[in-house]
């Protein structure tokens, strides 16, 4: 089985703002970026299944790529809880932020989740993929792509975060 993981295109958010579960809009470069994503996928004859995060930044891209897709909550971006739409600099200097930055793998964001919790939901998603599928397209987020690297490619967490995942990038993983 071949998984084609697509990170959504650029968002309309200032740099330095925390967003994960927040349903933010897309940048004005969306039409050009869709063309780039299509180009990266042009050699695939067909997808047996297409999955998409429920956030509009993914749904809008999936609608440009396919007529039919399955929305799955488990491939929604990391849940930063109360920190959504706040400045990372402000989060970093807070007591809760310091605790989280010291151990984001196990520490739960206020009203959110830990990295380990996100990994667990992505692992459940992967477990439920149809075994008989040849090609699967997954429109999702950088954090989820990194979870796939850790679960399926045996990346360390450090290596996963050191691996760039660009907006609109297509990453192929053989399962």
* Predicted local distance difference test score (pLDDT) of residue 146: 98
Of 144, 13, 135, the closest CA to residue 65 belongs to 135
Query: What domains are there in the chain, each with its CATH number?
Result: 2-174 (3.40.50.1240)
Please write the tens of the pLDDT for every residue from 18-40.
Answer: 999 999 999 999 999 999 999 99
Q: Over the stretch 49-80, which tens digit does the pLDDT of each residue have?
A: 999 999 999 999 999 999 999 999 999 999 99
User: Distance between CA atoms of 89 and 97, rounded to whole angstroms?
Assistant: 9
Look at residue 45 and tell me whether its pLDDT is greater than 90. Answer: no
Mean pLDDT score across all residues of the chain: 97
């Amino acid at each position: 089985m071949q998984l084609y993981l697509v990170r959504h295109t650029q968002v309309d958010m200032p740099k330095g703002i925390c967003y994960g579960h927040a349903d933010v809009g897309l940048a004005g470069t969306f039409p050009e970026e869709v063309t780039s994503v299509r180009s990266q996928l042009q050699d695939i004859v067909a997808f047996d299944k297409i999955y998409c995060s429920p956030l509009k930044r993914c749904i809008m891209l999936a609608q440009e790529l396919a007529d039919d897709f399955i929305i799955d909550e488990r491939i929604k971006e990391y849940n930063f809880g109360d920190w959504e739409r706040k400045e990372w600099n402000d989060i970093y200097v807070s007591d809760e932020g310091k605790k989280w930055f010291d151990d984001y793998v196990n520490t739960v964001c206020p009203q959110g989740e830990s990295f380990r919790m996100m990994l667990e939901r992505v692992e459940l998603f992967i477990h439920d993929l149809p075994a008989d599928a040849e090609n699967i397209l997954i429109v999702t987020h950088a954090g989820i792509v990194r979870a796939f690297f850790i679960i399926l490619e045996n990346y360390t967490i450090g290596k996963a975060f050191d691996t760039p995942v660009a907006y609109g990038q297509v990453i192929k993983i053989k399962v």
